[in-house]
Amino acid sequence: MVKVLACGLLMMSAASCVQVKEYQKNKLNDAEMALSNRKVEKNELNFQSYREAASGANAGKTGGGCGCN
């Protein structure tokens, strides 16, 4: 887990971030580029939380709220 965290932080810090102006964000603002689950995935995430032991870190359920674990 520590390795994953370290890798993630390393990738983010190592990547040369560029100042992106508002008018240059047309691609970033595309709905498909959203850093979140699609709305249509909502129920898929639910059934995965019932069938698999792992959950969370995806803005979905982390346990509780349903008969799943």
Closest C-alpha to 59, from 47, 48, 45: 45
Q: Does 9 bind another protein (CB under 8 A)?
A: yes
CA pair distance 18, 24, nearest whole angstrom: 11
- Residues with Cβ < 8 Å from 10, sequence gap 6 or more? none
User: From residue 18 to residue 47, what is the string marking binding to another protein with x (rule CB under 8 A)?
Assistant: xxx---xx-xx-xxxxxx--xxxxxxx-xx
Query: Least distance (Å) from another protein to the CB of residue 28?
Result: 6
Helix (H, G, I), strand (E, B) or coil at 66: coil
Applying CB under 8 A, the residues found at the interface with another protein are: 1, 4-5, 8-9, 11-12, 15-20, 24-25, 27-28, 30-35, 38-44, 46-48, 50-59, 62-67, 69
